[in-house]
């Protein structure tokens, strides 16, 4: 995101500032919904660890991770502060853990579709998302500005939701799969996932250093389809 908008900083500093403010708002909203949902489902399923540590909250500061937020700005991919879950307090162990893990990305997808209702109802007209388009937000009509803000929040919620479904630790997808793995293979799966964080960071860095587009090539088509389904009418 930030790396792809440096030209805008030179050409239109005020537009660059608007872009950063809107990205920050969209990111904070998406991460807060995501992590709160993890905390809510874990609490409902019997583990009060998240609630006891103050994570059952819609206060964004409870959920933001410095490194993950920076990566979101720089690379367009990132994460929030993981919600602590004690599987021993969950009645069905790893099965319930899979439900807790699924709650985050599913909440982002549901939230995005709820925000898209004005588009589906024809009350707002969706505009194509591009850096230059978003940079002009609040310079046109009021309805156009609202449409741009909603479109950006929808986009980041869909992107965060789909990204976190990838089966690589520490993403939620790896924990969802862990809940489906037979008990006799859980140790082997956990060992395999230890390389997940390093592999994920390596892919992100290679994508931006060499322009490989591995991650966006994987989740981009899904995000584009969901965006189209959510906002078209």
In whole angstroms, give the CA distance from residue 98 to residue 159.
20
213 Rama sector, left if φ>0, alpha if ψ -120 to 50, beta otherwise: left
Query: Cα(95)–Cα(182) distance, rounded to whole angstroms?
Result: 10
Residue 227: name the closest of 165, 167, 153 by CA: 153
| b/e sequence 71-84, b meaning 16+ C-beta within 10 Å | bbbebbbbbbbebe
d(CA 19, CA 58): 24
Bond preceding residue 202 cis, omega within 30 of 0 = no
Whole-Å CA distances, 65 to 80, 147, 151:
5, 28, 24
Catalytic residue check, 184:
no
List the catalytic residue out of 5, 35, 64, 106: 35
Buried b / exposed e across 168-197, counting CB within 10 Å, b at 16+?
A: bbebbbbbbbbbeeeeeeeeebeeebeebe
Secondary structure tally for the chain: helices H, strands E: 12, 0
222, 162 Cβ separation under 8 angstroms: yes
Q: Which residues are catalytic?
A: 35
């Amino acid at each position: 995101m930030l790396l792809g908008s440096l030209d805008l900083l030179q050409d239109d500093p005020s537009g660059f500032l608007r872009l950063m403010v809107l990205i920050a708002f969209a990111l904070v909203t998406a991460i807060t919904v995501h992590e709160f949902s993890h905390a809510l489902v874990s609490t409902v399923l019997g583990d009060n660890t998240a609630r006891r540590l103050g994570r059952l909250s819609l206060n964004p500061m409870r959920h933001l991770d410095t490194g993950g937020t920076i990566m979101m700005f720089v690379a367009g991919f990132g994460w929030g502060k993981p919600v602590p879950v004690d599987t021993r307090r969950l009645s069905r162990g790893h099965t319930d853990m899979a439900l807790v893990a699924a709650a985050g990305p599913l909440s982002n997808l549901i939230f995005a579709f709820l925000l898209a209702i004005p588009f589906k109802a024809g009350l707002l007209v969706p505009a194509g998302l591009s850096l230059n388009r978003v940079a002009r937000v609040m310079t046109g009509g009021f309805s156009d500005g609202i449409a741009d803000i909603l479109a950006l929040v929808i986009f980041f919620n869909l992107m965060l939701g789909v990204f976190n479904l990838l089966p690589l630790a520490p993403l939620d997808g790896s924990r969802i799969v862990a809940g489906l793995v037979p008990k006799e293979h859980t140790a082997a799966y956990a060992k395999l996932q230890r390389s997940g964080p390093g592999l994920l960071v390596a892919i992100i860095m290679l994508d931006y250093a060499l322009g490989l587009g591995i991650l966006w090539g994987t989740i981009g088509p899904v995000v584009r389809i969901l965006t189209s389904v959510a906002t078209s009418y």
